[in-house]
Structure 1
Amino acid sequence: MRTRPPSGFLARSRRAFVAVLGSAALALAGALAVPGTAHAANVLSNPGFESGSLSPWSCSGNLGSVVSSPVHGGSRALAGAVTSADTAQCAQTVTVRPDTAYTLSGWVRGSYVYLGVDGGASTWASSPSAYTQLKVPFTTGASQTSVKLYVHGWYAQGTYYADDISLDGPGGGGGSDTQAPSAPANLTSTGKTSSSVSLSWSASSDNVGVTGYDVYSGGNQVLSVSGTSATVGGLSPSTAYTFTVKARDAAGNTSGASNAVSVTTGAGGGGDTGAFKQAAPYLYLGWGDPPNAASVMSATGVKWYTMAFMLDSGGCNPAWDGNRPLTGGVDQSTINQIRSAGGDIVPSFGSWQGSKLGANCSSASALAGALQKVIDAYSLKAIDMDIENTDEFENEAVQARILTALKTVKADNPGLRTIVTFGTTTTGPTYYGNRLVEQAKSLNANIDVFTIMPFDFGGGSDMYGNTVNAAEGLKAKLKSTFGWDDATAYSHLGISGMNGLSDQQENTTPAIWTQIRDWSNSHHIARLAYWAVNRDRPCAGGGVVSNCSGISQSEWQFTSITAGFKG
């Protein structure tokens, strides 16, 4: 993993910058006419990110977000969540005048932060604990009418911040593009929960080309996307919102507003029929004498299964267990059987071991592409990322890659629900669990459900008390991170237990699981699952094995209890 820019790279960057300034000076000395002089006016749009959105800035890998701390001036700044494979470059293209001198400047904070002109000069600074100012003077070409400006960090160096970016000089004129796109049409709501609304609309047209769309709630811009759909999250339950959308082009021209759509979010809790509620025990076809899925559905009333596990078969290509084909095999036959019986599935990507897509795909966009293959193959309504072990859960770059990929596929698939599942302590998330929640907020990943696995934490005999305490710890973290109330935080929370004996000999009996189910219903959480239906058979004294629970119980008893979860 690259932990800092190679020393040779930094040296080359410095030499290139000096060379650019030197050649510019020679050009000025030998020129017959001096380039136009820049007037003291900032021609950038949203230079301090005070609008609360990125527009018209565009960030690679969807790794940019607007934050309220730390800032240099005003109340907001840009945060770029650098990964080991992406520098989180954020750029804006503006119209300029030919043969004219400009000065690009900005305040940055972080390890190895760059400010520059695409195809031209740049500079950098390393200031992890305080903002420092960068300046890049340059002169446009004889016929140049636009320029792309950027800021970015460096591989695996952590999140950088930028604020109060300025391009001092005259705005573009003459032959620059001044025609605005047509207004988006047919704006409609495609789904809602107690805290989000999904929207779609018809594409706009433009004389040059549409580069993006800005979504407004009332008069406030809340989201910028490149496609013709979006999900607005972080909303309050039982609240009326009115949305419109505007298109924009590369020159910064903005269309008129689309038609307005008014949507009232769900009530939250049990009364919210639009909220995401899922009772979905794990079914694993890779071991443990897999039962007939339709027969278990008939015996228990369960409708959903979490199908495990989707792994990497090599080259960032998804396959069941990493070796069974994505389609055409036993997994697809089982899914068809489940759907024929009136049920559905959510695939689980990851697990404790195996070759995982999150760890092995080279970038967030590559991972999103792998997820999309599975979404397309099965027309999925939801996906679960089981983030475990040091290669994913305890790797901050991979955490960011997974969250960014989930953000991408959610934006590309209106109505898709995204779930992240991870381990916990008896009192709530670990350091890495807390960081996962914080990164989801920072990246605006809009995760629907944060699911904890309250077992194998060596928590003693009180599995009900420890499970509730762990869930309450996660709820508190969601409240403090997202600013949600209790009801909204619970509605984004899931529990995934382990029936019977855990790997550490913790014992969750049917009576305890019933208590956990009843607590989950009374607090209206989003998801209840357990590992696994394969083990939902009695074998008192059988130990921790793949095809039974190790305790005395009725066949499919845990699945029947889980089916009683309604949220």
Structure 2
Amino acid sequence: MSKIRFHIPAMTVALAVIAAGCAVSAKDDSTIATGKATSALAAKRSEPYLYMGWGDPPSPSAVMNATGIRSFTMAFINSSGGCNPAWDGSRPLTGGADANAISEIRNAGGDIVPSFGGWSGNKLGPNCGTPSELAGAYQRVIDAFQLKAIDLDIENTDEFENPTVQDRILSALKIVKDNNPGIVTIVTFGTSTSGPNDTGKRLIDQSKALGSNIDIYTLMPFDFGSSNIYNDTVGAVEGLKSKLQSTFGWSEAEAYGHIGVSGMNGLSDQQEMTSVDTWTQIRDWGRGKGLARLAFWSVNRDRGCPGGGVVSNCSGIAQSDWAFTQVNAGF
């Protein structure tokens, strides 16, 4: 499932997306074994994507002051060669623009969740040879920023559609959960208009079989052949909810509490259009159902440019700056 993706060095269209997690109370051993939730997720997560290597990145504190948003999903951690994590696989993990942005956000009273993966770039999943090695790469990032949550954006075909790598990621997340009590783990992946495709369903089944104990399953409802973003987002979430209920035995409320939505503001690669009003409608529906998180791709694009098409630094539609972020802050 593709998302607006710009391959930055070549400035060619290739995009990437998405979103982030939610706090859960501790589960006992029987809960971890069965995947059943013992309590509702403690807090909703509203964390739109911010990308410091692309799309004229804004000052995060300025966006916070203008909108009330308090958290961002920072894109993307990938491989700088082998099993070594770096921002975009090229910028240093610490001491660069990304770390500076994280400090700015925290100094303004906010926080971040890093996203591993995305569409383009060299991924850690295929490069780390074992679940333990991959968990070690995740741990380096957790330790560097004292993280409370991580997002795995599993959309690249080398990760999502490769069963060996998919299982490696899910097994690594189990290790992360075991070694970091209380950390929130999120997986973000593409969808059809009626819910996860067969590969997405496999990911959910394997997360139970491997004891991954994922907190939030986030769908990316865009670039999925939509004729009505609101209706098709609702349809996708309802399909995921039914799959989570059947896999884990959760109630409807429990299933909704483990679901996130990560949309695409303005125009998608397929020219699907999400207006500010539509995003507000999705937010209100998701909030009413008790969804765990809401994100979108991206804050960099949350600026108006009617007729601008699908570009890196604006939405392609008429809007006021940071309008989608302001909607998200009300989640």
Alignment of 1:469-488 (within 5 A): 469-488=235-254
Alignment of 1:285-434 (within 5 A): 285-434=52-201
* Structure 1 contact 197–232 (Cα < 8 Å) conserved: no
1:451 is the counterpart of 2:218? yes
Whole-angstrom distance in 2 between the partners of 1:357 and 1:526: 26
1:560 is the counterpart of 2:326? yes
* Structure 1 contact 198–415 (Cα < 8 Å) conserved: no
SS of residue in 2 equivalent to 1:355: coil
* Structure 1 contact 198–232 (Cα < 8 Å) conserved: no
Q: Could you tell me which residue of structure 2 aligns to residue 44 of structure 1? A: none
Deviation digits for residues 184-214 of structure 1, max 9, x if unmatched?
xxxxxxxx83xx5257xxxxxxxxxxxxxxx
Amino acid at match of 1:516: I
Whole-angstrom distance in 2 between the partners of 1:459 and 1:296: 30
**TM superposition shift of 1:234:** 3.8
**TM superposition shift of 1:276:** 4.0
SS of residue in 2 equivalent to 1:384: strand
Q: Which has the higher helix share?
A: 2
Q: Tell me how large the CA RMSD over aligned residues is.
A: 1.5
**TM superposition shift of 1:337:** 0.4
Alignment of 1:436-515 (within 5 A): 436-460=203-227, 462-515=228-281
Whole-angstrom distance in 2 between the partners of 1:449 and 1:482: 13
Number of residue pairs the alignment of both structures matches: 309
Q: Could you tell me which residue of structure 1 aligns to residue 290 of structure 2? A: 524
**TM superposition shift of 1:233:** 7.0
Whole-angstrom distance in 2 between the partners of 1:309 and 1:390: 16
* TM-score, normalisation: structure 2: 0.91
Amino acid at match of 1:493: I
Distance 1:198 1:481, change over 3 A: closer
Q: Could you tell me which residue of structure 2 aligns to residue 151 of structure 1? A: none
SS of residue in 1 equivalent to 2:150: strand
**TM superposition shift of 1:315:** 1.8
Q: Could you tell me which residue of structure 2 aligns to residue 78 of structure 1? A: none
* Structure 1 contact 311–318 (Cα < 8 Å) conserved: yes
Unaligned runs of 5+ in 2: 1-22
SS of residue in 1 equivalent to 2:114: strand
Q: Could you tell me which residue of structure 1 aligns to residue 311 of structure 2? A: 545
Q: Which one has more relative contact order, counting CA pairs under 8 Å at least 6 apart?
A: 2
* Structure 1 contact 312–319 (Cα < 8 Å) conserved: yes
Whole-angstrom distance in 1 between the partners of 2:27 and 2:244: 21
Q: Identity of aligned pairs, percent?
A: 62
Deviation digits for residues 153-181 of structure 1, max 9, x if unmatched?
xxxxxxxxxxxxxxxxxxxxxxxxxxxxx
Deviation digits for residues 57-81 of structure 1, max 9, x if unmatched?
xxxxxxxxxxxxxxxxxxxxxxxxx
Whole-angstrom distance in 2 between the partners of 1:409 and 1:276: 21
SS of residue in 1 equivalent to 2:90: coil
Distance 1:428 1:323, change over 3 A: same
Unaligned runs of 5+ in 1: 1-191, 200-214, 216-221, 224-230, 238-264, 269-273
Whole-angstrom distance in 2 between the partners of 1:236 and 1:556: 35
Deviation digits for residues 307-360 of structure 1, max 9, x if unmatched?
000000012000000000000111111000000111000000001110000121
Q: Which has the higher strand share?
A: 1
**TM superposition shift of 1:282:** 0.1
| Higher Rg of the two aligned structures | 1
Amino acid at match of 2:231: G
Distance 1:403 1:560, change over 3 A: same
**TM superposition shift of 1:232:** 7.5
